[in-house]
């Protein structure tokens, strides 16, 4: 695995460890107030980053382009902001909502960018 694929896979593993730790904390404490954060960390963080990693692994030429690096950093920064912002908001701090909104919109923009990158690659005629 090289460059962007390796970076996304590393990010996926970090998300999975954080999401599972949060899940264990909720189970042990019997406080499930962070369930949305746990779900977003596992689905949007772990799952999406792993899918991106395997896409770039399957299409290494696409992963060598600058736009793939932009995709990684936009996804990483906005995703981390999304997870932290959601955690802080659900912990009772609604003042974080504007930051959470920006992170959410940026994360969606990263998915749109992935569609722009991936769809031509998978539909390209051999």
pLDDT at 92: 95
pLDDT per residue as tens digits for the range 87-120: 999 999 999 999 999 999 999 999 999 999 999 9
Residue extents of the structural domains in the chain? 3-123
Residue 125 has pLDDT above 80, yes or no: no
Note whether 68 and 106 are within 8 A (CB): no
pLDDT at 88: 97
Confidence of residue 39 (pLDDT cuts 50, 70, 90): very high
Chain-centroid distance of CA 74 in Å reads 9
């Amino acid at each position: 695995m090289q460059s962007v694929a390796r970076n996304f896979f590393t990010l996926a593993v970090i998300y999975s460890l954080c999401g599972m730790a949060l899940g264990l904390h909720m189970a042990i404490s019997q406080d499930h107030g962070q369930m949305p954060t746990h779900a977003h960390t596992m689905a949007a963080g772990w799952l999406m980053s792993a899918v991106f990693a395997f896409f770039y692994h399957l299409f290494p030429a696409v992963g060598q382009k600058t736009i793939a690096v932009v995709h990684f950093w936009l996804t990483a920064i906005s995703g981390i902001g999304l997870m932290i912002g959601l955690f802080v908001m659900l912990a009772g701090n609604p003042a974080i909502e504007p930051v959470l909104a920006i992170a959410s919109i940026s994360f969606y923009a990263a998915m749109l960018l992935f569609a722009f990158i991936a769809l031509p690659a998978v539909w390209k005629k051999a």
